Amino acid sequence: MQALIFIDLDHVHPVVDGVWHRALLDSVPDPGDDITMLCGLTAPAGFRPRDGRHPNGALVTCVYCDYQYRNAHGIPIPSSHPALLRSRRN
């Protein structure tokens, strides 16, 4: 008998250098597999327990991932959205 752990991939947010991203995942990546975020950033997957995160470390959302997510899901994008105000990184 197994104790199954179900992971809802819509709620998996890769964190790179303290920034919370979004990615379209069709399965849980293996450690070291490259993940490409909606903003175009690619980084290898790694896993840590939730309690390994600094308790007062609020994550910053990647504005470019947020913009792409909103656009893909028909969520209104305000004219003041930071992704529209910043020049796109190279």
Residue pLDDT, tens place only, 21-63 = 999 999 999 999 999 999 999 999 999 887 777 666 667 899 9
Give the count of domains, the chain: 1
Domain holding 20, by residue range, is 10-85
Q: What is the pLDDT of residue 90?
A: 42
Residue 80 lies in a domain: yes
Q: Identify whether 73 is part of a domain.
A: yes
| Structure-model confidence comparison of residues 5 and 38, the more confident one | 38
Residue 42 domain-assigned? yes
Check pLDDT > 80 for residue 66.
yes
Residue 4 lies in a domain: no
Residue 87: other Cβ atoms inside 10 A: 5
Residue 48 lies in a domain: yes
Consecutive H or E run containing 36: strand 34-36
